[in-house]
Structure 1
Amino acid sequence: MIALIGIDVDGTLVGSSGKVPDLIWELAAQARAKGIHIALCSGRPAFGLAAEYARHLDDDGWHIFQNGASVVNLATHHSRSTPLPEGSVRGLISHARETGQVLELYGDDDYVVESEAPWAREHAELLGLEFKPRPYETLSPPLVRAQWLVSPEDAKKMVAPPDLEMAESTSPLMPDVRFIGLTRHGVSKGSAMREIAAAYRVDMRDVMYIGDSGNDLSALRVVGHPIAMGNADPQVIKAAERTVGHVDDAGLADALKIAISSR
């Protein structure tokens, strides 16, 4: 029986409309009524719209943000954060200032971006946050994740420093941008799903995960029921046990129905 479901946001829960279909919320409620835990598992931070989505899915449990760097229990407000190495952060800041590329730095409850580029503004709107560029040094520690906003061509050239984990993701709401998330080495959606499963005392064989992008691969590879969206990247479809419908056709509903029927 499926006892825990991990759900990605962009391209899985949220499609090109920027809205979550009512059917998804209804099925999530049915799954919870069956005793299934549901965890949001996003590269987004634990504030803004992502926090609202998490509360709607399950306001009494654990959720994953920042590609696994922030694991938060909404009921107790307990947070398990893994900070970035300070040396790596300094190097990223220097590179951003030298190249003019858009770099975002995140803490548990705040983020900072210096760039005033259109992509930076557009991403703040996507996150449901006020756009207020300011110096990187104004973000209070701990810093748990960094993120580059780059073109698809530049994304192919990105290489992670040896002490960082790198994961690429996309959003239907910003199709021309690739989000390159950086967390401490060993921290990923997969490691966070293991942590949540342990907290709930759920065997990983009884965990379902649904995703569409490269940053979902680590989670898909450790669960017993890996599900790809119909709009997923080829490597995600290859890693999945089965593929459901496109996000714009509420394909996530198909996966939730499978989990509910397992009970």
Structure 2
Amino acid sequence: MNYRLLVVDIDGTLLGSEGGISKEDKEALAAAQRAGVKVCLSTGRALQGCHWIVDELSLDGYHIFFDGALVSGPDEELYVEPLGRGVVEEMVEFVRKNDIYLELYSATDYFVEWENWATEIHRNYFKLEPMVVDFAELGGGEKFIKGGLITRDAEEVAKAKSFRNRFDRSLRFSAARSPAYPGVEFINVLAPEVSKGKALTALASHLGVSLSEVMAIGDGTNDISLLSIAGLAVAMGNAPDEVKAVAHRVTEDVGRSGVAAAVEKFLL
């Protein structure tokens, strides 16, 4: 099978504990592009936190952001599944009553009501600068694509659980970790129909690529919907067993340039 589209997760797949892209992975992705394969990033990260990765890899096509809530190219939003305005208002009311730290993301900005250790992670690792605002003052014209909860201790975990219990029927939750912060859980708060798999389906259709012509590489449970529909699904060696179970192949772990190993073995 000739694969025409390569979809690659970021954290735990392309980026390891050091937060950089290995020389081997860069070279393999460049070789894939020279061979005519379109390379697409697929991540729970915000669009605005991925510019440096796109630039470093010289990627000029579409990418999947916010765990599948947005598919965007350099000058175009191809697909977007925002949070409903009503549920955002309910979220804000709930976190204020229960003293819960919440992030809200548009396609271009990320908003918080106060700064804490989590905003420092975003600033230093994800290259995101928060806009500190009163959520009540955000106008109805702002389109929010993702909410975010971040936990690292028992109290924060309990608060996040209460939030999930409150909105379990009206929102989708997707948890992820970064090798750079193994003790921190990043919880994406999304519209109920959002998934990386659904976003990939929209992107492949737009590009005229069949899903059987897609190779996907990932490591997290939020990659399962993506891996489940790709023509060739490759799990990272550091992926949990439930992710490996849906993959066709397993590559090296992120610290051993598993992306490069997979591209060289299965694509080039």
TM-score > 0.5 by shorter chain = yes
3-state SS of paired residue (2:178)? coil
Q: Which residue of 2 aligns with 1:117?
A: 116
Q: Which 5+ residue runs of structure 2 have no aligned equivalent?
A: none
Q: Which residue of 1 aligns with 2:64?
A: 64
Amino acid aligned to 1:12:
T
Q: 1:17 to 1:217 in 2, by over 3 A?
A: same
Amino acid aligned to 2:47:
A
Q: Which residue of 2 aligns with 1:28?
A: 29
Residues 12-49 of structure 1 deviation map (CA, whole Å, 9 limit, x = unaligned): 1110011111221111111011111110001111113x
Q: Within 2, Cα distance between the matches of 1:45 and 1:58?
A: 18
Please identify runs of 4+ aligned residues in structure 1 that moved more than 6 A: none
Q: Which residue of 1 aligns with 2:239?
A: 232
Q: 1:138 to 1:54 in 2, by over 3 A?
A: farther
Q: Which moved more, 1:172-181 or 1:250-259?
A: 250-259
Q: Which residue of 1 aligns with 2:230?
A: 223
Q: Which residue of 2 aligns with 1:150?
A: 151
1:207 equivalent to 2:214? Answer yes
Q: Within 2, Cα distance between the matches of 1:138 and 1:40?
A: 33
Q: Which residue of 1 aligns with 2:198?
A: 191
Scaled by the length of structure 1, the TM-score of the pair is 0.90
Please state how far the C-alpha of 1:132 moved relative to its aligned partner. Answer: 4.9
Partners of 2:110 and 2:129 within 8 A in 1:
no
Q: Within 2, Cα distance between the matches of 1:100 and 1:252?
A: 40
Partners of 1:11 and 1:247 within 8 A in 2:
yes
Amino acid aligned to 1:116:
E
Residues 133-172 of structure 1 deviation map (CA, whole Å, 9 limit, x = unaligned): 3323455611011111124863894445323222111101
Partners of 1:54 and 1:63 within 8 A in 2:
no
Partners of 2:110 and 2:131 within 8 A in 1:
no
3-state SS of paired residue (2:183)? coil
Partners of 1:102 and 1:150 within 8 A in 2:
no
Q: Which residue of 2 aligns with 1:98?
A: 97
Scaled by the length of structure 2, the TM-score of the pair is 0.88
Query: What's the C-alpha RMSD, in Å, of the aligned pairs?
Result: 2.1
Please state how far the C-alpha of 1:190 moved relative to its aligned partner. Answer: 0.7
Q: Within 1, Cα distance between the matches of 2:8 and 2:262?
A: 10
Q: 1:144 to 1:107 in 2, by over 3 A?
A: same
Q: Within 2, Cα distance between the matches of 1:232 and 1:138?
A: 41
Give the count of matched residue pairs.
259
Partners of 1:121 and 1:131 within 8 A in 2:
no
Q: Which 5+ residue runs of structure 1 have no aligned equivalent?
A: none
3-state SS of paired residue (1:218)? helix
Please state how far the C-alpha of 1:100 moved relative to its aligned partner. Answer: 2.8
